[in-house]
Chains A and B, each alone.
Chain A
Amino acid sequence: MTTPPDRADVVVIGAGIVGNSLAYHLAERGQRGIVLLDKGPLPDPGGSTGHASNFIFPVDHSQEITALTLDSMRQYEKFGTLTTCGGIEIARTRERVEELHRRMSSACAWGVAAELIPPGEVARRVPFLDPSPVLAGFWTPSVGVVDPLRTGALMRERAQELDALTVCASTEVLGIDTADGRVARVRTDAGDIETGTVVVACGVWSPRIARMAGVALPLTPAVHQMIDVGPIPELERTRCEIAYPIVRDMDALMYERQSGPDLEIGSYAHRPILHEPDEIPSIAAAALSPTQLPFTEEDFDPQLEQALELFPEILSRPGAGIRHAINGLLSLTPDGAPLLGPVPGADGLWSAAAVWIKEGPGVGRMLAEWMTEGVAEIDLHGADVARFGPHQRTPAHVRARASEGFNKTYGIVHPREQWAGDRDRRLSPFHAAETGLGAVFFETGGWERPQWYESNVGLLDEFAGRISHRPHEWDARWWSPIIDAEHLAMRERVAMIDLSAFTQFEVAGPGACGYLQQLVVADVDKPVGRMVYTPVLAPNGGFRSDLTVVRLAPDRFRMITGAADGPRDLAWFDAHLPAGGGVVLTEVTSAVCTVGVWGPRARDLLASVTPDDVSAEGFPFGRAKWITIAGSPVLALRVSYVGDLGWELHAPFEQGRRLWDELWAAGGPLGVVPAGIGVYGTTGRLEKGYRLMGAELDSEHDPVEAGLALPRVKAADFVGKDAYLRAREQAPAATMCTLAVDDHTGADGTHRVPQSGEPIVTADGARIVDRRGRPSVVTTAGAAPSLGRHLLMAYLPPERAVEGARLAVRYLGHDHPVTVLRVGRRPVFDPDDTRMRG
């Protein structure tokens, strides 16, 4: 046992695959003074790395996760710990066959070789499988099995050779001391270590360790059951760890793989079995290991039947028994994604938790980049630990969502699918009125937002012939044609849209202007009452965020950002507050409610409820003014994300109901309709080509590529400026474009509607990749009811980014012809913005 040093530059807690990889990559990047701690012995300290099933299927619908997985596979291969065996996801149902076609789309999008194969081909590749329940298989030749313990040992060795790493096994962390909100010391049973940087890479124990520093990590340990059946003569004869492809029995939510002479069977089908990090037994008290808990047979029995259907012969071989059976622990989070990055609330504390074996090495590499360069090569906004708001870090929320998410591990998850648990958390003051109007609520950041209103069903007749149709159930799931009708009513009359979910900050103090200048691209030093829409960049010049900044007073600004992006933006702006004071950053989201009124009659509506001047001259586009509506002070912003004349009206939260009722009553004669986020977030936005953070905008793309570079570069320095200046001088590797689907006829002759995430390919079906290796993928898809077209947004390399170019979108295995309508920012609808500026 090595005694830890008194002082370290970085302390990594947890010697699983993630901690080892991080220590190694930090060392490779020149970091020295790294200490790696684990309370267990090496090489297997008893966490999930030691009992995981260790296979890797590279294709995921998430680009971020696939990128981490592919990077990890390259690392395992480099260390000689990857055995390629191939893998097949099998479908037992028609719905799953469709899902496998979606997998094919994702495989094409991310550049992973894959093939759909018939049942006979499945049986040829896995000769002991009975293909009678199988309809189709998704064959991925690059699927492999890895040895994460060996990889971790090699990574430690390499970091030690560089004289960068001290490894302290069997050393338990007792506490993490903070001083002035910053980590200062890690206390262990073998002595204290002074340090300014601590990484929690503790898998299922991560919340327990993070709590020592006073912060909550939204993670729960959960059971994944697995058994080993053997010895099976056919497998024993291969005399190797794995000679046959791994089978994922997707509809049964199970997998089967050879493990030497045994067949290992794992399940994600059983009831969610969640544990508390504090209740996990110690190494000494555990019968097997702390993360291999007693098997609960009754939970697994239904799975055995399903396994027997596929492998009736080898599972019935005389002498083959269930030799090993565990309730293995893995980490679940509220949305299923990892928890990576600086942890808000404790400076110097980093999280590297909720990571699977297939992502471990890649996560280590990306986090090492993030820690040393300020940003990682792969956009990690979906895994950023800062993405959760306060209520999302509570145990109740974590348990509700993790329970619901567990069975989705192999599930067919619709891109718009909503969570059922822990809803009705954040309600706007308009909620009761909206409920009365038949609102169908979607959730973002805990907010319930109307996606559309069933009370608008009558509009379908009014706009008959102009409404898009989605005959296929999958295309129409979590969607309504009413969205199109609301859109058309807004374009012809006026609509009220609840935007209370916006995250809002106030920045105040003598240093406010200078502080904002160094964080955003646009020049915010404007006269009071002006506003700017601006990118917020990461140090590499990629997008960190995009938001609106309003100057309320010489030393006071309002920042408005998306509901989903709020917590990440808060963390970013908070982390950059000047040490010496002079700036106060306050989140005012819960104090402000917002309703947008847009449409050609918006001015008539507003004028009828306010004594203030809202004429074109008195209240021009791009201005902010305090006005009075129904006796309430309202901050009105003349701005639009849907491309029509109108305002965002921001009112004190408790006076919101009065505001809504007043507008609603006055709007009656004008034909006002309530419109949902289906219009605001998709149809209205798409017609105007507006970009959305997390869809079109991410840290792998810069403002030039996104078409959001500003005409002039301000003199003030700001984060990402050097990279931004470089990007402005180069021809972009890709440009954000708007495309339209020319033919919706799918493979079986039915009308199909691409949903987003699909690859854009050439007219003859070739994958499109830009010179930086980034594929062209649909970032947003949706109807443009004003145009009668279905639009797609995607980055295209220069040779494809040509207006009028004919390409294709690959949806469910079929290439639909598309045409490039716009290259860059110019909108398809009302390209000169005359409606909005009128």
Chain B
Amino acid sequence: MSTTAEPERRDVLVCIKRTPAVGARIALTDDGLAIDTRHLGFTMGPHEECAVEEAVRIAESHRAAGGTARVTVLTVGPPDAAEQLRYAISMGADEGVLVEVPTEELDPEPTAASILAGLRSAPDTRYDLLLFGTDSAVAGNAQAGIRVACALGLPMVAGVKGIRFDDSGLELRRGTPAGIEIYRVPLPAAVGVKEGINVPRYPAVTGRMRARKAPLRTVPGEPAAGGLRTVALRRPREDRPETVVLGSGAAAAPAVVDVLAELGVV
């Protein structure tokens, strides 16, 4: 429930988003405002999948040390987003909250407002740690996490590729071109996780069985539009790569050397 009064218990919230699983070429809807998802499956963003994995690992190590832990996964989306909540539960999360709104693609203000509505719906739960993907796979606004953190008055670090609990709270790491930045933040805190922090597990068969039966809590969201509008989407120009056959067998070796030299590899 709370963190300071019961230090043996750890509550982690992970916010995820239902995202189309696209191929190399992305089809757009006729109005050009969205991805055409008629033939696509859905997943969660790669940063969020790492966040779920990180939360599950935190819970597992905490339990291994004798404590209790709970991982709650929350999404803001349509009823179909339950699929992503169940996937996270099959990876090892304990429970799911679906904050229901009509679409996957809200702009950042209602997304944050809806997450907060979800948190308010369980006023007795105090999370030690709120994990987000550092940004979402489709919109990439990188705003939902920071908006929630601000509203709750929590410290927030994004782009994080390392999380360690210590006596005073959290030690967070993130990479920069110059080296590694290390942050120390007190709990509770919000963290934007970046892909690469871990390698997410595949859901176990038993996990999937559990996820199938796990109850999800559904909460109404707050979808009223905020200030950011999608005007149009455009597919980047497709460069058809040209394939040049350099030859075959040993005779091709000099040409390969030339290419490598040109690339500065040798």
Is the Cβ of A315 less than 8 Å from the Cβ of B39?
A: no
Inter-chain CA distance A293–B21, complex, in Å, is 11
B204 within 8 A of A: yes
Is the Cβ of B42 less than 8 Å from the Cβ of A316?
A: no
Q: Find A281's partner among B23, B83, B203, B208 (CB 8 Å cutoff).
A: B23
Inter-chain CA distance A281–B20, complex, in Å, is 14
What's the minimum C-beta distance from B89 to chain A, rounded to whole angstroms?
A: 12
Closest to A281 in B: B39
Inter-chain CA distance A320–B206, complex, in Å, is 10
Is the Cβ of A287 less than 8 Å from the Cβ of B41?
A: yes
B86 within 8 A of A: yes
A297 within 8 A of B: yes
Closest to A316 in B: B206
The interface residues of chain A lying within 8 Å CB-to-CB of B22 are 285, 287
| Contact digits for B18-55, partner A, Cβ 8 Å, 1 yes 0 no | 00011111110000000000111110000000000000
What's the minimum C-beta distance from B220 to chain A, rounded to whole angstroms?
A: 24
The interface residues of chain B lying within 8 Å CB-to-CB of A284 are 23-25
Is the Cβ of A321 less than 8 Å from the Cβ of B203?
A: yes
Is the Cβ of B205 less than 8 Å from the Cβ of A320?
A: yes
A180 within 8 A of B: no
The interface residues of chain A lying within 8 Å CB-to-CB of B39 are 279-281, 285, 293
Q: Which of B25, B38, B86 has the most CB of A within 10 A?
A: B25
What's the minimum C-beta distance from B60 to chain A, rounded to whole angstroms?
A: 11
Inter-chain CA distance A432–B64, complex, in Å, is 76
Inter-chain CA distance A308–B209, complex, in Å, is 10
Closest to A308 in B: B205
Is the Cβ of A297 less than 8 Å from the Cβ of B205?
A: no
Inter-chain CA distance A282–B26, complex, in Å, is 11
SS class, residues of chain A in contact with chain B: mixed
| Contact digits for A286-314, partner B, Cβ 8 Å, 1 yes 0 no | 11100001111110010011011000000
Which residues from 257 to 295 on chain A have a C-beta closer than 8 Å to any C-beta of chain B?
279-282, 284-288, 293-295
Is the Cβ of A294 less than 8 Å from the Cβ of B40?
A: yes
Which residues from 594 to 634 on chain A have a C-beta closer than 8 Å to any C-beta of chain B?
none
Q: Find A285's partner among B26, B87, B207, B243 (CB 8 Å cutoff).
A: B26
The interface residues of chain B lying within 8 Å CB-to-CB of A285 are 22-27, 39
Given contacts A285-B26, A294-B21, contact A307 B205 (CB under 8 A): yes
What's the minimum C-beta distance from B221 to chain A, rounded to whole angstroms?
A: 23
What's the minimum C-beta distance from B148 to chain A, rounded to whole angstroms?
A: 29
What's the minimum C-beta distance from B26 to chain A, rounded to whole angstroms?
A: 7
Given contacts A285-B23, A295-B41, contact A323 B202 (CB under 8 A): yes
B120 within 8 A of A: no
Q: Which of B38, B39, B41, B205 has the most CB of A within 10 A?
A: B205
Closest to B90 in A: A322
Is the Cβ of A322 less than 8 Å from the Cβ of B21?
A: no
B201 within 8 A of A: yes
| Contact digits for B198-238, partner A, Cβ 8 Å, 1 yes 0 no | 00011111111100100000000000000000000000000
Inter-chain CA distance A320–B86, complex, in Å, is 18
Closest to B86 in A: A297
Inter-chain CA distance A484–B205, complex, in Å, is 54
Is the Cβ of B205 less than 8 Å from the Cβ of A229?
A: yes
Inter-chain CA distance A429–B42, complex, in Å, is 53
Task: Please give the number of chain B residues whose Cβ is less than 8 angstroms from any Cβ of chain A in the complex.
Answer: 26
| Contact digits for A314-331, partner B, Cβ 8 Å, 1 yes 0 no | 011001111100000000
Given contacts A279-B39, A294-B41, A297-B83, contact A315 B23 (CB under 8 A): no
Is the Cβ of B205 less than 8 Å from the Cβ of A287?
A: no
The interface residues of chain B lying within 8 Å CB-to-CB of A286 are 23
Is the Cβ of A301 less than 8 Å from the Cβ of B25?
A: no
The interface residues of chain B lying within 8 Å CB-to-CB of A316 are 204-206
Inter-chain CA distance A355–B188, complex, in Å, is 60
Is the Cβ of B208 less than 8 Å from the Cβ of A322?
A: yes
Closest to A231 in B: B202
Inter-chain CA distance A301–B205, complex, in Å, is 10
Is the Cβ of B208 less than 8 Å from the Cβ of A304?
A: yes
Inter-chain CA distance A293–B42, complex, in Å, is 11
Is the Cβ of B204 less than 8 Å from the Cβ of A301?
A: no
Is the Cβ of B209 less than 8 Å from the Cβ of A287?
A: no
Inter-chain CA distance A521–B208, complex, in Å, is 65
Inter-chain CA distance A762–B154, complex, in Å, is 87
Given contacts A294-B40, A294-B41, A304-B209, contact A287 B204 (CB under 8 A): no
What's the minimum C-beta distance from A479 to chain B, rounded to whole angstroms?
A: 43
Inter-chain CA distance A281–B21, complex, in Å, is 13
| Contact digits for B79-96, partner A, Cβ 8 Å, 1 yes 0 no | 000010011000000000
Given contacts A293-B41, A294-B42, contact A287 B23 (CB under 8 A): yes
Is the Cβ of B23 less than 8 Å from the Cβ of A297?
A: no
Closest to B212 in A: A301
The interface residues of chain A lying within 8 Å CB-to-CB of B26 are 285
Inter-chain CA distance A299–B22, complex, in Å, is 21
What's the minimum C-beta distance from B38 to chain A, rounded to whole angstroms?
A: 8
The interface residues of chain B lying within 8 Å CB-to-CB of A305 are 209
The interface residues of chain A lying within 8 Å CB-to-CB of B40 are 287, 294
What's the minimum C-beta distance from A119 to chain B, rounded to whole angstroms?
A: 23
Inter-chain CA distance A304–B204, complex, in Å, is 11
Inter-chain CA distance A288–B243, complex, in Å, is 22
Given contacts A279-B39, A293-B41, contact A287 B21 (CB under 8 A): yes
Inter-chain CA distance A281–B42, complex, in Å, is 15
What's the minimum C-beta distance from B114 to chain A, rounded to whole angstroms?
A: 25
What's the minimum C-beta distance from B204 to chain A, rounded to whole angstroms?
A: 5
The interface residues of chain B lying within 8 Å CB-to-CB of A315 are 205-206
Inter-chain CA distance A296–B201, complex, in Å, is 19
What's the minimum C-beta distance from B69 to chain A, rounded to whole angstroms?
A: 18
Given contacts A285-B39, A293-B41, A294-B41, contact A304 B205 (CB under 8 A): yes
The interface residues of chain A lying within 8 Å CB-to-CB of B209 are 301, 304-305, 308
What's the minimum C-beta distance from B192 to chain A, rounded to whole angstroms?
A: 25
The interface residues of chain B lying within 8 Å CB-to-CB of A279 are 38-39
The interface residues of chain B lying within 8 Å CB-to-CB of A287 are 21-23, 40-41
The interface residues of chain A lying within 8 Å CB-to-CB of B23 are 281, 284-288
The interface residues of chain A lying within 8 Å CB-to-CB of B205 are 229, 304, 307-308, 315-316, 320, 322
What's the minimum C-beta distance from B50 to chain A, rounded to whole angstroms?
A: 15
Given contacts A282-B25, A285-B24, contact A322 B203 (CB under 8 A): yes
The interface residues of chain A lying within 8 Å CB-to-CB of B27 are 285
The interface residues of chain B lying within 8 Å CB-to-CB of A297 are 83, 86-87, 208
Inter-chain CA distance A319–B60, complex, in Å, is 14
Inter-chain CA distance A304–B208, complex, in Å, is 9
The interface residues of chain B lying within 8 Å CB-to-CB of A282 are 25
Closest to B42 in A: A294
What's the minimum C-beta distance from A180 to chain B, rounded to whole angstroms?
A: 38
Is the Cβ of B41 less than 8 Å from the Cβ of A321?
A: no
Closest to B24 in A: A284
Inter-chain CA distance A762–B202, complex, in Å, is 56
Closest to B41 in A: A294
Closest to B21 in A: A287
Is the Cβ of B202 less than 8 Å from the Cβ of A301?
A: no
The interface residues of chain B lying within 8 Å CB-to-CB of A294 are 21, 40-42
The interface residues of chain A lying within 8 Å CB-to-CB of B25 are 282, 284-285
Inter-chain CA distance A114–B238, complex, in Å, is 56
The interface residues of chain A lying within 8 Å CB-to-CB of B202 are 321-323
Given contacts A279-B39, A284-B24, A296-B41, 14 further A-B contacts (CB under 8 A): A1-B243, A285-B23, A285-B39, A287-B41, A295-B41, A297-B83, A297-B86, A297-B208, A304-B205, A304-B209, A308-B205, A308-B209, A315-B205, A321-B203
A positions within 8 Å CB-CB of B: 1, 229, 279-282, 284-288, 293-298, 301, 304-305, 307-308, 315-316, 319-323
Interchain residue pairs with CB less than 8 A apart (19): A229-B205, A280-B39, A284-B23, A285-B22, A285-B23, A285-B27, A294-B40, A294-B42, A296-B41, A297-B83, A297-B86, A297-B87, A301-B209, A304-B205, A316-B204, A316-B206, A320-B205, A321-B202, A322-B208
The 6 closest A-B pairs by CB, nearest first: A294-B41, A321-B202, A284-B25, A315-B205, A286-B23, A287-B21
B positions within 8 Å CB-CB of A: 21-27, 38-42, 83, 86-87, 201-209, 212, 243
